């Protein structure tokens, strides 16, 4: 059974930092491309960052230079380091992984940026 469990969300002031984690099980993590998405209130889910099995990365323009995606294959865990957070980064952040032709999503971690 595939499970993706996010953690590390919370309330932070503008300019602050948070690190999200996504613990994966039931997939061959080291062979999987892993992605972070987010969904802000009243908006559609959007791409945030991707890291391939070969450790190549790609970012949405809105987070480039502020967010860093990484992975620890020994721990089957995906990370998203978020720095210089802005009000518009407020959203529920989801971990995503395709496996055996099926899409899998975590339950999400809420990040609120507010003064």
Give the pLDDT of residue 90.
98
| Cβ contact 79:21 at 8 Å | yes
pLDDT value at residue 41: 92
The pLDDT mean for the chain works out to 96
Give the pLDDT confidence score for residue 27 in this predicted structure: 87
Q: Please tell me the predicted confidence (pLDDT) of residue 93.
A: 98
Write out pLDDT tens, residues 51-102. Answer: 999 999 999 999 999 999 999 999 999 999 999 999 999 999 999 999 999 9
> Hey, what long-range contacts does 92-95 have (CB within 8 A, 24 or more apart)?
92/9, 92/38, 92/39, 93/6, 93/9, 93/20, 93/36, 93/37, 93/38, 93/48, 94/6, 94/36, 94/37, 94/38, 94/39, 94/45, 95/4, 95/6, 95/22, 95/24, 95/34, 95/35, 95/36
């Amino acid at each position: 059974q595939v499970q993706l469990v996010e953690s590390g969300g919370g309330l932070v002031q503008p300019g602050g930092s948070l690190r999200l984690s996504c613990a994966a099980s039931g997939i061959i993590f080291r062979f999987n491309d892993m992605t972070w998405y987010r969904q802000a209130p009243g908006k559609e889910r959007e791409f945030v960052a991707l890291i391939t099995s070969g450790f190549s990365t790609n970012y949405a323009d809105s987070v480039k230079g502020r967010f860093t995606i990484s992975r620890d294959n020994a721990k089957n865990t995906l990370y998203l380091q978020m720095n210089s957070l802005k009000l518009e980064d407020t959203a529920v952040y989801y971990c995503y992984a395709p496996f055996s032709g099926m899409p899998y999503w975590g339950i999400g971690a809420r990040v609120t940026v507010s003064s």
